[in-house]
Amino acid sequence: MYKILKKRDLNPVITLMEVDAPRMAASAKPGQFLIVRAHEKGERIPLTICDFDSKKGTVTIVTQVVGASSRQICYLNEGDSFTDFVGPLGEPSEFVHMTREKLSGMRFLFIAGGLGTAPVYPQVKFLHSMGASVDVIIGAKSSSLLIFEEEMKAVCDNLYICTDDGTAGRKGLVTEVMKELLEADRQQKENQHYKCYDHAVAIGPMIMMKFVTLAAKPFGIPLTVSLNTLMVDGTGMCGACRVTVGGKSRFACVEGPEFDAYQVDFEEAMRRQTMYRSIETEADHNCKLGLH
């Protein structure tokens, strides 16, 4: 059993939990995920690893209530335990394999949307520890839905906040800020003392990643996206996270979750996200009524 040591509501629909899992904490890498089951009859739920501490033996997860199973997870409290807490799974971020010497001379740009801020955080934290320069753009519908703002400030060089309603940071879309930053890079390329971005990473809603990809492509910057929101079973057997990348069928859970953004068929990926929507809506309704 994996005990919940700390629980904190980040906002009305997103909950952070710090879980006692020493073996996972010792081997986890940025970009990976885990599988949880809230109870013996619970569904297997893939969640991105938000943070880990090998010394404390803890792994941090962040869950947003989107259906019955995520609601059951958020019902758990400090002192309760998960029946299953399995991982780390998936491939870690590609820069994890780079040397400190190489990373310390690189500059990264991260674009995080909503809950995507949670998996962005361990990547930025890792790069910061390796001496890389990192700028982060966080987008949310409103200030009440922003998460990890203070934590991100502590590990990045520059933080840009965007909200749809203008209640925090700049009113508008993350793509607007991203294009401004990349345009500044383009104008400074002749300046030998200016270090341009080497790589960009976008994690968030599928529609956001699609438009980030379209906006970034003219600038020629390498871009990675995470398809973690497609995962269901987490083992590749259910086929729910199958998506076309570079003209080939790939599985986000066992071959990803991160891929070259310019190779992803986003239209297909967004269609896959709607496959179980009616079933999940009914299950969540029953969960609210106490029928699960």
Share of the chain above pLDDT 70, in %: 93
Q: Please indicate, yes or no, whether residues 190 and 99 belong to a single structural domain of this protein.
A: yes
Q: Which two three-digit tokens encode residue 41?
A: 């009859």
**pLDDT range class, residue 44, cuts 50, 70, 90:** confident
Angle formed at CA 227 by CA 58 and CA 166, multiple of 5 degrees: 85
Instruction: Provide the pairing of β-strand 84-89 with 170-171.
Output: unpaired
280 found inside a domain: no
32 found inside a domain: yes
Q: Please indicate, yes or no, whether residues 220 and 101 belong to a single structural domain of this protein.
A: yes
Q: Following DSSP, what letter does each residue of 109-136 receive, concatenated?
A: EEEEEGGGHHHHHHHHHHHHHTT-EEEE
Q: pTM for this structure?
A: 0.89
| 288 sits in which H/E element | helix 277-288
Q: Please indicate, yes or no, whether residues 160 and 196 belong to a single structural domain of this protein.
A: yes
Distances (CA, A) of 73 to 77, 195, 253: 9, 44, 21
Axis-axis angle for helices 174-188, 206-216 (nearest 10): 20
Whether residue 52 contacts residue 60, with contact meaning beta carbons closer than 8 Å, is answered with yes
Q: Please indicate, yes or no, whether residues 16 and 129 belong to a single structural domain of this protein.
A: no
Q: Please indicate, yes or no, whether residues 105 and 208 belong to a single structural domain of this protein.
A: yes
**Which of 89, 115, 140 finishes a domain?**
89
Overall average pLDDT of the 37-48 stretch: 88
**Which of 210, 225, 240 finishes a domain?**
225
Question: In the chain, helix, strand, coil percent, each to 5?
Answer: 35, 30, 35
Q: What is the pLDDT of residue 288?
A: 47
Q: Please indicate, yes or no, whether residues 192 and 102 belong to a single structural domain of this protein.
A: yes
pLDDT at 76 over 90: yes
Q: Please indicate, yes or no, whether residues 182 and 248 belong to a single structural domain of this protein.
A: no
Q: Please indicate, yes or no, whether residues 102 and 217 belong to a single structural domain of this protein.
A: yes
Task: Report pLDDT digits (tens) over 257-287.
Answer: 999 999 999 999 998 877 655 444 444 444 4
- Hey, CA dihedral for 152, 27, 85, 18, is it positive or negative? negative
Burial 53-76 (b: 16+ CB within 10 A, else e): eeeebbbbbbbbbebbbbbbbbeb
For the chain, the average pLDDT equals: 90
Q: Please indicate, yes or no, whether residues 81 and 98 belong to a single structural domain of this protein.
A: no
**Which of 190, 225, 260 finishes a domain?**
225
Instruction: Measure the CA–CA gap between 107 and 109, rounded to whole angstroms.
Output: 7
Residue range(s) defining the domain that contains residue 212: 94-225
Q: What is the pLDDT of residue 286?
A: 45
Tally of structural domains, the chain: 3
